[in-house]
């Protein structure tokens, strides 16, 4: 039974030199005879030598791996963010280990521990909860960590998020300008900073335009197309009056569109619908969705860049950077 991989020892034996002459050749060090070097390199190639990254990791205490912890990487939003991370990471020779939490805190905790055990050089995480204690846990790991898509109350970790207050404001003001007055808000739960920010934007658009906030128009639901669909059905059935729906995200909007279609409520004539995120899907639904665009790939790239900075600094915890990405209202046909 042969060994799985060729080591520098094998090369050394084949070349009749010591292992660290091999190392020198491989690493292009100056203190080596040119001929020896070429010979060693040739033999290494012939033998099919591939550097063992696990050995290097042990040696240097650095893995060149960053951990990515998402809620659900199959969610089109995150899959685009992931692409941005991967792109930027690749440039620096970093690899990605990916784990999903399915929005369950136990899984998040487990994922963080796994990443710790893997000795990742850094972590990009979308926290499922934003409780102070959970953030403290993240902080206690002592490994450079960037928080994605969340604005922490205490600015204790580097973070990237988009300007959700403005985004929501833009969306709702657009509805108001188009003459909508009773604007339903299908929001996510308010323990999330994102939900809070979008709510703030919703409120600001109303007050700025001299419109009152009717709390009975604001709902909070669990994420998922199906939940939005069900909630919309329920609202429709309840007889509540409204002429527009502002959705926490495009997935919600799609569920809403579905429910509205079944109830034969014309969009946007009778009810206008606005989403959030501008996932690639949104352009193609029926009718094409008016939404707030977040540059997801840029968010991912930014997250890695921020992380990379932190990794390079010893005192990355002091004065963590915060990046707020601009958003853009995309007007299509649903509102």
To DNA, the closest distance from the beta carbon of 314 in angstroms equals 17
61: left (phi > 0), else alpha (psi -120 to 50), else beta?
left
**Distance between CA atoms of residues 91 and 107, nearest Å:** 30
Q: Which does 155 bind (CB under 5 to 8 A by kind): DNA, a copy of itself, none?
A: none
Q: Which does 284 bind (CB under 5 to 8 A by kind): a copy of itself, DNA, none?
A: a copy of itself
Binder of DNA out of 2, 59, 215, 284 (CB under 7 A): 59
Binding-residue pattern over the window 178 to 207 for DNA, x denoting contact by CB under 7 A: ------------------------------
**Is 31 a binder of DNA (CB under 7 A)?**
yes
Output DSSP code: residue 14.
H
Rg (CA), the chain: 26
141 binds DNA (CB under 7 A): no
Q: Reduce the DSSP state of residue 244 to 3 states and report it.
A: strand
CA dihedral 95, 97, 102, 106 (to 10 degrees): -140
Cβ proximity to DNA, 3 vs 215, nearer residue:
3
Q: Which of 86, 173, 223, 278 binds a copy of itself (CB under 8 A)?
A: 86
Cα–Cα distance measured from residue 195 to residue 216, given in angstroms and rounded to the nearest whole number? 17
Candidate list 17, 138, 205, 235; residue touching DNA; CB under 7 A: 17
Contact criterion met (CB below 8 Å) for 250 and 277: yes
Which residues are paired to 184 by β-bridges? 245
CB nearer to a copy of itself: give 226 or 241: 226
Q: C-alpha distances in angstroms, 58 versus 15, 93, 118?
A: 26, 17, 11
58 binds DNA (CB under 7 A): yes
Per-residue tokens: 38: 């070429």
Q: With binding defined as CB under 8 A, does residue 133 bind a copy of itself?
A: no
SS3 category, 220: strand
Question: For residue 10, how many C-alpha atoms fall within 13 Å in the half-sphere facing its CB?
Answer: 15
Q: Which stretch binds DNA (CB under 7 A): 2-10, 215-223, 234-242, 264-272?
A: 2-10
33 binds DNA (CB under 7 A): yes
How many CB atoms neighbour CB 55 within 10 A?
11
Which residues in this chain contact DNA in the complex, by CB under 7 A? 3, 5, 7-9, 16-21, 23-24, 26-27, 30-34, 36-37, 49, 51-52, 55-56, 58-59, 61
Which residues in this chain contact a copy of itself in the complex, by CB under 8 A? 1, 4-5, 48, 50-55, 57-58, 61, 63, 65, 72-74, 76, 79-80, 82-83, 86, 90, 95-100, 113-114, 116-119, 140, 142-143, 254, 257-258, 280-281, 284-287, 314
């Amino acid at each position: 039974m042969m060994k799985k991989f060729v080591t520098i020892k094998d090369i050394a034996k084949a070349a009749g030199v010591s292992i660290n002459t091999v190392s020198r050749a491989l690493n292009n060090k100056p203190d080596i005879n040119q001929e020896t070097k070429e010979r060693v390199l040739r033999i290494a190639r012939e033998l099919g030598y591939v550097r063992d990254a696990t050995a290097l990791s042990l040696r240097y205490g650095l893995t060149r791996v960053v951990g990515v912890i998402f809620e659900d990487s199959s969610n089109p939003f995150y899959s685009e963010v992931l692409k941005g991370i991967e792109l930027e990471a690749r440039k620096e020779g970093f690899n990605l280990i990916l784990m999903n939490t399915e929005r369950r805190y136990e899984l998040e905790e487990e994922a963080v521990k796994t990443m710790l055990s893997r000795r990742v050089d850094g972590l990009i995480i979308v926290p499922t909860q934003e409780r102070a204690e959970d953030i403290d846990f993240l902080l206690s790991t002592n490994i450079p960590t960037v928080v994605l898509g969340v604005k922490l109350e205490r600015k204790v970790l580097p973070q990237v998020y988009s300007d959700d207050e403005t985004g929501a404001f833009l969306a709702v003001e657009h509805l108001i300008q188009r003459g909508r007055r009773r604007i339903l808000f299908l929001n996510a739960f308010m323990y999330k900073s994102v939900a809070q920010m979008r709510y703030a934007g919703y409120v600001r658009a109303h007050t700025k335009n001299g419109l009152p906030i009717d709390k009975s128009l604001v709902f909070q639901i669990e994420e998922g197309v199906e939940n939005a669909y069900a909630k919309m059905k329920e609202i429709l059935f309840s007889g509540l009056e409204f002429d527009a729906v502002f959705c926490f995200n495009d997935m919600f909007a799609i569920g809403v569109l579905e429910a509205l279609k079944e109830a034969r409520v014309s969009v946007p004539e009778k009810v206008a619908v606005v989403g959030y995120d501008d996932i690639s899907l949104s352009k193609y639904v029926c009718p094409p969705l008016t939404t707030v665009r977040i540059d997801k790939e840029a968010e991912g790239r930014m997250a890695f860049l921020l992380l990379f900075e932190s990794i390079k600094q010893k005192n990355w915890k002091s004065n963590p950077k915060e990046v707020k990405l601009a958003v853009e209202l995309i007007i299509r046909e649903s509102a």
